[in-house]
Amino acid sequence: MSRRLDDTDRALLRALTTDGRRTLRALAKDVELSEPAVRERIQRLERDQVITGYRAAVAPESVDAATAAFIALRFGPGEDVRSAVDEALRREPCVLEAHQVAGDDCYLIKVRVASTGELADLLDRVRAIPPIQSTGTTIVLRTIFERPLLAGDAERTRGDGPAPAANGG
């Protein structure tokens, strides 16, 4: 993206991350612009890949994914090693996020499965990826909240509440 986001762009993004099905009319009212101006801004945000897609938020329990866990992965150095791990993780549908991290661990992944038994099966598959040397797993007992990026911006800019985490949640 070549240009900075202005306050109106950020207001549109906050509104869309809170409710991606908002009408142009409602968005236009919120940001005090015409519907065509809002449409043009949204199209530009999509074209500039600021908005990368629209998704439905699904209750994990309703799709047999009530058990969440974070798994730290350790493996040796090398681009080809990382590529092999990337490819194997992308094939696992229960891996929701994969992050390369600094520190002793190489990657931190977030997974959702139906049960601890399924988590054990997933760990067996992950540990079988040839470059993986070790794993460390933290099972989520309760999710306090998950926040879309920018959703907490309104409180922070108004000064009404604590600032959200820098990564958006």
Separation in Å, CA 11 to CA 8, 49, 82, 85, 152: 5, 17, 38, 38, 11
pLDDT tens track for 8-38: 999 999 999 989 999 999 999 999 999 999 9
Summarised one tens digit per residue, pLDDT across range 107-146 is 999 999 999 999 999 999 999 999 999 999 999 999 999 8
CB atoms within 10 A of CB 66: 14
Residue in the block written with tokens 């590529």: 83
Strand pairing category for 95-100 and 132-139: unpaired
Q: Global pTM? A: 0.79
